[in-house]
Structure 1
Amino acid sequence: MSQRTMAVVGTGVIGNGWIARFLANGHRVFAYDPAPEAEANTRRMLDDSWSTLVQYGIHKDASKDNLTFVQNLEDAVAHADLIQENVPERETLKKQVLASIDHHAKPDAIIASSTSGYMPSVLQEACVKNPERIIVAHPFNPVYLIPLVEIAGGKQTAIATINEAKQIYDELNMKPLVMSGEIDGHIGDRLMEALWREALHIVNDGVATTEEVDKAIVYGPGLRWALMGPFLTLHLAGGNEGMKHMLEQFGPALKLPWTRLIAPELTEDLKKKVIDGTSAQCGEISIADMEHRRDRFLIKLMGLLEEEGFWPSERVLAYERNIDAVDR
């Protein structure tokens, strides 16, 4: 894998996660964010997470010194091979920023939006120079560890762009999922939103606390989902006949009015229940300590998935060795 030049536009939680992953894989990164404290926040985040990245496995050329903050968007994107946009989820703002990136980027650069909701066809509407290289590449937090990136092309996106993007993200030790089409919210977020709405209803109705909802996932379906996801989990629930028996046996229950997928009104009372509940769950443990605990767990879990043969691309525990072999 040769060293590439990456650009990150917008350095919030997601943007900083991309910066960390790009750097850990030995690439140069140019970052732009107009916020006064942006660079300081990014470098603080890198200092705090670098030991985790080393444990996860970094490229032999990985260095925090490969990061350069610039004062304007044009300087950030002018020489980049991949440009990752991460500005706030406002359609007008994203379109304006992507149009500016399209104007200043070199013609063969891939322009990827991290948007969690908008379809690429919408985002590329204002891009008049090379709209065929605009895609959605939606990651999951923490971006420097979670491997999934959902890739979707719009009506004007070239197939060659999708293929090249898939290769780049695969080389970043990610699991690129190329969507068959485009849809608001993509795949992962739509599934999480459905669960999130149900969780809010349960807490709002006084059925359970935030801690009890979390326990219901962590000690139950979450354990199975980590390995197989919802469809294979239910396939196994059907016994020897698999999903066929599952649908015959439990299909009628789908019509029962158990779920309440319409989001509840976010009243002050509901907000207080959720805020107080999650604060009580953390107790005296800081957010930073909770993040470190989460990262340690994710590394162990991904190693276990590899050990069990459910890690179909590059191997996490042998990542550094694989990269060296590719370089040779």
Structure 2
Amino acid sequence: MRITEIGAGTIGVSWTVLHAAHGHEVTVTDPREDLDEAVREGVRRFAPALGADAGELLDRVRTEPDLAAAVGNAEIVQEQGPERLAVKQDIFTTAGAAAPADALLLTSTSGIVASDIAAGLDADVAARLVVAHPFNPPHLLPLVELVAGERTAPETVERAAAFLRAVGRDPVVEHREVSGFVANRLQSALFREAVSLVRRGVVSPEELDRVVTGSLGPRWATGGPFLSFHLGGGPGGLRHMLTHLGPGMSRRWADLGNPTLDDETVEALVAGTEAAYGTDYDRLTGTSDRAQVAVLRARGPEGTEESR
């Protein structure tokens, strides 16, 4: 399959590694002057986590700075451009006109809904456009949120889901559009309280991370919030849990923090995090990737779309 990745940042190169590892031909397009170098370095950085040879993957990857030329024979177009509505609209105006008439158009946007991106696009282009929001890094983490816009054709969602399953992802088709989708909204909610707790002096950034990795992280890796509480209720399940512990939880909702990311808060968070972990991106990424691979292997296929 011929796939074009628009954007040579972390997400675009991560997708490139995944697709090349599955034997697909990948073209990466980006106007940046260091496009070739960025793609080579990214592939070499991410390939080991998949047990893949970077040189073999790069044999399936080419670069093309011109967007129209890059999508000219693509079967799948994935966009990872700047998170600005006008930019994404311009990208899909060009890509929609230059790509084959049956090419699937996916956007990895982290929060802009497909209906807004499709506004002003030709009907046939809008019908082939769907949000396919991954969780970083997409070459490792299985979730992809599929969110149709008002003009997205049902068969586009079906084709996107089939394509993503074929490269080992677990697409979750969401029932309606909402800014930020589901995963980022959950992440934002948890991070808001994390920031509040750190700023109130309850814990440091490193200590808060240890709380999560020693409790919620392992629990949610195997069950998620609803199943976890369902099991936490014992034989009575979620009903027992909410009946007995729900009132206290509800009181805590009213006490959750509502911090702002002003300059002072940002500086405090960055200083605490850098003091705990340093700034060696390659080292931190390698450690994180190895740990995530181990968790996913231990978790096995249960809970993925392939096992249903």
**What TM-score do the two structures reach when normalised by structure 1?**
0.88
Correspondent of 1:41 among 38, 48, 55 = 38
Residues 163-312 of structure 1: pairs in structure 2 closer than 5 A: 163-256=158-251, 257-260=254-257, 262=258, 264-283=259-278, 286-306=280-300, 309-311=302-304
SS of residue paired to 1:63:
helix
What CA distance in whole angstroms lies between the structure 2 residues aligned with 1:198 and 1:100?
Answer: 41
What CA distance in whole angstroms lies between the structure 2 residues aligned with 1:132 and 1:310?
Answer: 30
Verify: 1:74 aligned to 2:68, yes or no.
Answer: yes
SS of residue paired to 1:166:
helix
Give the Å deviation of 1:203: 1.4
Matched residue, 2:15: 18
Q: Deviations over 1:108-159 (max 9, x none)?
A: 1110110010111111112114210000000111111111111111111111
**Which range is displaced more, 125-134 or 110-119?**
125-134
What CA distance in whole angstroms lies between the structure 2 residues aligned with 1:65 and 1:92?
Answer: 34
Give the Å deviation of 1:241: 0.6
Higher RCO (Cα < 8 Å, 6 or more apart): 1
What CA distance in whole angstroms lies between the structure 1 residues aligned with 2:36 and 2:58?
Answer: 13
What CA distance in whole angstroms lies between the structure 1 residues aligned with 2:85 and 2:247?
Answer: 40
Letter of the 2:128 counterpart: R
SS of residue paired to 1:297:
helix
Letter of the 1:305 counterpart: R
Q: Contact 1:152/1:179 (CA < 8 Å) preserved in 2? A: yes
Give the Å deviation of 1:215: 1.0
Matched residue, 1:324: none
What CA distance in whole angstroms lies between the structure 2 residues aligned with 1:71 and 1:298?
Answer: 33
Q: Contact 1:203/1:273 (CA < 8 Å) preserved in 2? A: no
Letter of the 1:42 counterpart: V
SS of residue paired to 1:35:
coil
Q: Contact 2:170/2:304 (CA < 8 Å) preserved in 1? A: no
Q: Deviations over 1:160-209 (max 9, x none)?
A: 11111100000011111111222111110000000111111111222211
Residues 97-116 of structure 1: pairs in structure 2 closer than 5 A: 97-116=91-110
Letter of the 1:28 counterpart: E
What CA distance in whole angstroms lies between the structure 2 residues aligned with 1:239 and 1:52?
Answer: 38
Matched residue, 1:30: 27
**What TM-score do the two structures reach when normalised by structure 2?**
0.93
Correspondent of 2:157 among 148, 159, 162 = 162
Matched residue, 1:92: 86
Matched residue, 2:50: 53
Q: Contact 1:6/1:27 (CA < 8 Å) preserved in 2? A: yes
Letter of the 1:31 counterpart: V
Matched residue, 1:313: 306
Q: Contact 1:5/1:79 (CA < 8 Å) preserved in 2? A: yes
What CA distance in whole angstroms lies between the structure 1 residues aligned with 2:264 and 2:117?
Answer: 36
